[in-house]
Structure 1
Amino acid sequence: MKIILVNRKHAASRSFELGRWSRALLSLCCLGLPLGMVALGYQVGLEHGASALRGQSMDALQDELAQQSSDLEAIRDEVQLKLQALTLSLAELQARMTRLDALGEHLTAMADLEDGEFDFSQPPALGGPLAGEFSVDYSSMGLSAELDDFGQRLSDREQQLGILESLLSNRKLQEQSNLSGRPLEKGWISSRYGKRTDPFTGKQSYHHGIDFAGKAGSNVLAVAGGVVTWVGKRSGYGRMVEISHGDGLVSRYAHNQENLVAPGDVVRKGEPIALVGSSGRSTGAHVHFEVYKNGRSVDPSSYVRRTRR
């Protein structure tokens, strides 16, 4: 192969004769250059595509992380709301338990239970063998259901205790209004109800009460709970106290040394209302005890013989 080189200035030319190996090398270079350019373009394309894919992957990953962060925040808020709701429910249950404890102590006192027989101030004694197969998984939903069930049981107990309180109150009221026993702690019957010889005139008269001889200055006791309706001096009775017990029943306590109550006072059974004396038409220290039913005098003996409740 011959190669001719032309000089533009001098219009001269030079020629070269290429050998077989030179021609082979030149052919190889001519073929390799396009292939190299193609390979370079392909590599540049790959790099550019990989870079674009990496950018898209990073964007997608960032979007996914942002979504997960948002979901996590929403879950955290939901859990916080549930915890607040459970906390409020627990606080309400604790308040109701406190009220139940107070009501239980009140009912224990009303029922006259012995000390320590039913102590609401102490936690209940519990125990038993471990039974793992029956253990409860207190998940969020499970705990909420347990609290709801416990609240319902508390409501049932509150209703039952309320009914029991009403029954005990009625029983106490009946006990308080039940006339029974003597109007003094120590003493003896010195004069009964009905016909007798008057101690001052010696003539036969009608005695509308029972006289209990006792120590001067000792307590005169109410034989039932009620409201004091009259206090003061009355002809023949001396210093007297009158108590209304409801249901038409009235009791009187006369010849007192001193009255300890005033009209309108509410008294309980066995409460001191006066001191034994000999005021009025009396021969010595005693209590003149009368009972009226619907305005009429009745024999107090049946009430005196009643067992005190």
Structure 2
Amino acid sequence: MKNRIKIWFHSGNDTDIREISLRKSLLLFSTLFFIACAGAVSYFGHDYYVLKRTDLDNTTLHETIASQKTELEDQRRQIQVFAGEIQDLKEKITKLGQLENQVRLIADIDKSGQSSGLLGIGGVPETDLGQDLPLDTRHNALIREMHHQVNQIRSVADEEKLDFNELIAKLEKKKNLLGSTPSIKPVSGIITSPFGYRKSPFTGKRSFHSGLDISNRMGTKIVSTANGKVIFTGRKSSYGNVVIIDHGYGKATKYAHLRDILVHKGQQIKRGDAIATLGNSGRSTGPHLHYEVLVNGAPVNPSKYILN
């Protein structure tokens, strides 16, 4: 009996007493088995908890990475749009600079100081903006480059503003000169032969062309390109019917191959006044206007004196 343990169960009734007798070895085994099971459950339960927590953390991490990737893609697209806008700004500033130079040439106004321009401002290579590039490739460098270019453009724009303010002030003092300086296209149409050396349509040899040839239909209205005084109307050998206007300040314009002449010698003319109609008189291959700009008697490129 020493190897057994008795356990009594009492239900509260004196006559209802139950007795269980267990071997000590069985009870010890059962206790150890219970402890082992509890330990195993605790161990695997903890592993399961760690696994679930890790899985949850990984899910959160993947969501964060996906969100950051989306954000990078959006930023890359914004950078592409931004790069296009920067390029547009540079082109507009360049055109403004060209217009300023053209106005200065026409008005005979020198530019004080060094030209501002867009020297030193490069574009962002399209290869650095490709959608196929890894999102982190030059990303931060591109953003810095954008800000750098914007700052440069702002600086150039400020300089151009000062240049234009200076130009406007000088233009105010040169209204008479401007009014007397050729600055518009004398007739609508297509420029068929520019100023400079060309192959002669008559001899086939290289010869100098002293004006612009502008083609259009017979009878198209021709206007004076500046204020001035008509100093010649009539026929000039191979030029056919011709009108020459003296604009003062050493500048004059010639209009040749005309059909009808609408002005007379000595007449005062305003810019835009009709002076003749387009024709085919003289030595000509077809209806067109031969237009010249002369400075101190020498022909210069008329294209530089056309703003419209």
TM-score (norm 2): 0.43
TM-score (norm 1): 0.43
